[in-house]
Amino acid sequence: MKRILLFSLIVTYSFTLAAQSPSEAKTDFTKMYLPVWLEAKAHCLAVAKAMPEEKYSYRPTEVSKTFAEQMVHIGYTVEFLTKRYVQGLDVKPNAPDASKMTKADIVQLLETGFDYTTHIILSIDQAGLDETCVMYHSGNTVSRAFAFFYVQDHMANHRAKANLYIRMNGIDPPEYTW
């Protein structure tokens, strides 16, 4: 069963890469960035799938997010931050409640968020990348191209926490392959 699942994931990932090749991106930056983003997506989805559903409510301390909340935060914010900083849209936070979602719901939210940002990576032009935005928390002015790195860094921060939660439950997390 595990071999079939692994094979299925590899085939799906291969088709995703083939369907979203760097040659489809409009700029040198997005051609370079797309494979990195797709690898980050695949690894994050592997982390989400590695934790058994009955452990999605696990939190290491009372003030920590649960595993489900970490994953929902990622799935929601990759799209939200892309809209706010890369596209310059005026969006307000409205994250879903992780406690009311199943593992399948959360994995779907992750896929939707990652796919949204992938679409923007493929469609943004150089003029859009060169525009600037002000980062909400720091007040720094950065290019929209730089904002893609912020979206990925934010995701990686929460993915790393989720990876630790997996280890704390005696489960080997997915290997980081990049």
- Which residues have CB under 8 Å from 65's CB, separation 6+? 59, 73, 161
CB-CB contact of 19 with 135 (8 Å): no
Q: Give domain status of residue 173, yes or no.
A: no
In a domain, 177, yes or no: no
Structure-token pair, residue 32: 């370079």
State the total domains in the chain: 1
Q: Which domain holds residue 84?
A: 2-168
CATH number at residue 40: 1.20.120.450
Tell me whether residue 178 is in a domain: no
The tens-digit pLDDT sequence of the chain (178 residues) is 444 433 344 434 444 443 455 568 999 999 999 999 999 999 999 999 999 999 999 999 999 999 999 999 999 999 999 999 999 999 999 999 999 999 999 999 999 999 999 999 999 999 999 999 999 889 999 999 999 999 999 999 999 999 999 999 999 999 987 6
